[in-house]
Amino acid sequence: MPWLRVCGLSLLVAALAAQAAAQDPALEEDQTGPTVQFRGFADIDYAETDSEPAADGFYLGYLVGSLSASLGRKFSAYSEVTLTQRNNAFVLDVARLFLRYDYNDRFKISVGRYHAPVTYWATAFHRGAWLQTTVFRPDYVKDEWFQPDHFLGVMAEGTLVPRAGLGYIVGYGNGREVDLRDSGFDAADLYGDRENIGHHRAAVVRLFARPPQISGVEFGGAVYRDELAANGSPGVPELITSAYVAITGEAPELIAELSNLKHTWGPEYNSQAYYVQLGYRIPAQPTFKPYARYEHADAPDDEPITGPLANSRASVGLRCELNDLAALKVEFAQRRRPGAPHVNGLFVQAAFTF
């Protein structure tokens, strides 16, 4: 049975960890307590659009606090908590919380809640807007819009081929955490006050390469398998495949990702989304970094789970470094949807870390 295999694997990992701790003389040193590091992020924003109605004006973005702690004996813990303004109230969310055991560079195992490693952006940039060049994240990597934003379960990661910078991430855990029932599917189980469609388990595998010979370059891909609960069905299979390339140097910066979302409800429904982002820090004026991004999503009109997703968005902007810990961004964007007027917007963001 699947749960017996999972229990057996868990016991085996625990036994290996305990054996390694007992055999490593370096772990016999006295532990005086955890070593804790804190980092915070925040952003304050302004929006002006020609959409009616629109929540224009000033607003608070994310207030993010992250804690990392070395617990000794190769164990560490990490947490990330966000506070977001929503409708004159504030929403508290535990974005990440996990306990990890580092056996060696080839094998690290953890349990908890993570940013889903289905895309590059979700794991490279968390909610701290200061980390990213742009004002906004790409549409399809935010808030479960196209694919899972978080993953709750157990995860293993490490290096496969050090000389090539080849690594892996493998996860097994709960399915999607929100209800996608745009077309009336009751794709959720109710636990207390929280809707959670983790009735089925999900798995994710990601392979990536960071060639040490080429600084700042990473490329890879991922496969995510889930099964969504739905009324009148034992489950709607969901398969997400993605690929990406990222050049994170400042002159230039290039990030491109492509994902395919497949739901099988009788026939197969395939939806695609991608974005390409280019930035360039001006060598003669390193304070300034102009950038541009184009993103597009397309889906069948009769897609039974997400509904029609077709839209595109183009944006151009300028990031100005106020100092080493704060930046000001100005961005103009236009969104296009089939059969709807174009929406233009001007956005300004002050983002900082502390």
Is 199:228 a contact under the CB 8 Å cutoff? no
3-state secondary structure of 2: helix
pLDDT tens sequence across 273-316: 999 999 999 999 999 999 999 999 999 988 877 777 889 999 99
Whether residue 159 is predicted with pLDDT greater than 90 in this model: the reply is yes
Q: How confident is the model at residue 235 (pLDDT cuts 50, 70, 90)?
A: confident
Rounded to whole angstroms, the Cα distance separating 89 from 250 reads 37
Q: Closest Cα to residue 176, out of 154, 145, 220?
A: 145
> What is the rounded average pLDDT for all residues in the chain?
86
The amino acid present at 54, given as its one-letter code, is: A
Whether residue 339 is predicted with pLDDT greater than 50 in this model: the reply is yes
pLDDT tens sequence across 80-92: 999 998 877 889 9
- Whole-structure pTM value: 0.84
- Residue 25, preceding peptide bond in cis (omega within 30° of 0): no
- The Cβ of residue 125 has, within 10 Å, a number of other Cβ atoms equal to 18
Fold of the CATH domain 102-353: Porin (2.40.160)
- The pLDDT score that the predictor gives to residue 129 is 96
The amino acid present at 267, given as its one-letter code, is: P
Is 178:144 a contact under the CB 8 Å cutoff? yes
Number of H helices, E strands in the chain: 2, 18
